[in-house]
Amino acid sequence: MQNENSELPVILTGDRTTGPLHLGHYAGSLRNRTALQHTHRQFLLLADLQALTDNAHDPEKVRRNVLEVAFDYLAVGIDPALTTICVQSALPALSELTMLYMNFVTVARLERNPTIKTEIQVRGFGRDIPVGFLCYPVSQASDITAFKATLVPVGEDQAPLIEQTNEIVRRLNRQVERELLPEAEAMIPKVGRLPGIDGKAKMSKSLGNAIPLSASPDEIREAVRQMYTDPNHLRAADPGVVEGNVVFTYLDAFCEDVALVDDLKARYRQGGLGDMVVKRQLEDVLQALITPIRERRAQFAADPAYVMNVLREGTARARERTQRTLNEVRSALGLFEL
């Protein structure tokens, strides 16, 4: 057993439970997490409360997907002996910390948060934004600090949330005149975000351009068939463009044979290599990647009792840790004690 002082660097990250995860999640975070669990103390949060902040009209969807995302985690190789998987809504300390932190953040600052600002625009909330949604950066600050995480592996779009977290940490530390909570660092993956199969900047279930981690062989084949390439590459003999060509972007992301990909790129640029040939190569790579994930996922989905147990044990461990932090914050602020 490790004691607190010799603890490995602590990572917290998580996902909103709004739907099963897809290849974009795999490339952007899941793949990293399976590696990081060996070198860090890793906590994964099934963020159902955060999911509710923009899905209050469909709480059943949020509830159902807690298990779906857990299946995805286990299927890609998250090992519950190395990583603690926990459920946000079952950790009351997170909500209590949010209540305390809200006193250290202004509405103006939240509205200026680039992540929030973009989402307000995209969703067309205007002044009718739910308070919970506006405050989700505060809740995310609670998630991160409650675990005393110093590293948060997230996509680039989430970086402003880590900055906001650190502002809260600094204000609180100044208030209590000591280093009560550590600041956290965003760990942004070097590879950019995986585009959707239509070439749009983001792979997303709601945009209908995603390949789920549970995709069947036929679904994989069909997704590759539809995939956006170079729209001006009409005949195999023509020279083609590799940049922004989704088939090549995916080969870069998932094909381990770099020399093969380089060769395909050179021949494609030169002319004489048809889309079909490149797509067949990618299909092989994706079938080989997804098949074992899909099969493991089906095994876990067939044994929900085992997965529930993983979540119960992980959440119990997380409850202890987050409650300890809450107690420290309560006592540092000098809240009334009974």
CB of 121 to ligand TRP, least distance (A): 17
- Structure-token pair, residue 295: 């099969």
User: Which structure tokens are listed for 101?
Assistant: 């932190």
Q: Is the dihedral of CA 291, 68, 223, 286 positive or negative?
A: negative
Q: At closest approach, how far in Å is the CB of 63 from ligand TRP?
A: 16
Q: Which residue's Cβ lies closest to ligand TRP? A: 47
Could you give the string, one character per residue 25-64, with x where binding to ligand TRP holds by CB under 6 A and - elsewhere? --------------------x-x--x--------------
Q: For the chain, where are the E strands, in sequence order? A: 10-16, 41-47, 83-87, 151-153, 185-187
Contact residue for ligand TRP among 10, 11, 12, 186 (CB under 6 A) = 12
Query: Residues 94, 154, 247, 310: which binds ligand TRP (CB under 6 A)?
Result: 154
The 10 Å Cβ neighbour count of residue 257 is 12
Residue in 10, 11, 15, 42 binding ligand TRP, rule: CB under 6 A = 15
Residue 229 interacting with ligand TRP (CB under 6 A):
no
Binding residues with ligand TRP: total (CB under 6 A): 14
CA within 13 Å, CB half, 224: 23
Phi, psi of 243 (to 5 degrees): -70, 130
Beta carbon of residue 167, minimum distance to ligand TRP (angstroms, whole number): 16
Site string for ligand TRP, 103-142 (x = CB under 6 A): -------------------------------------x--
Q: Which is nearer to ligand TRP, 15 or 283 (CB)?
A: 15
- Output the six-digit token pair for 315: 């959440």
Bridge partners for 83 per DSSP: 42
Please identify which residue in the block is written with the tokens 């202004």: 106
d(CA 165, CA 287): 40
Chain residues that interact with ligand TRP, rule: CB under 6 A: 12-16, 45, 47, 50, 140, 143-144, 152, 154, 158
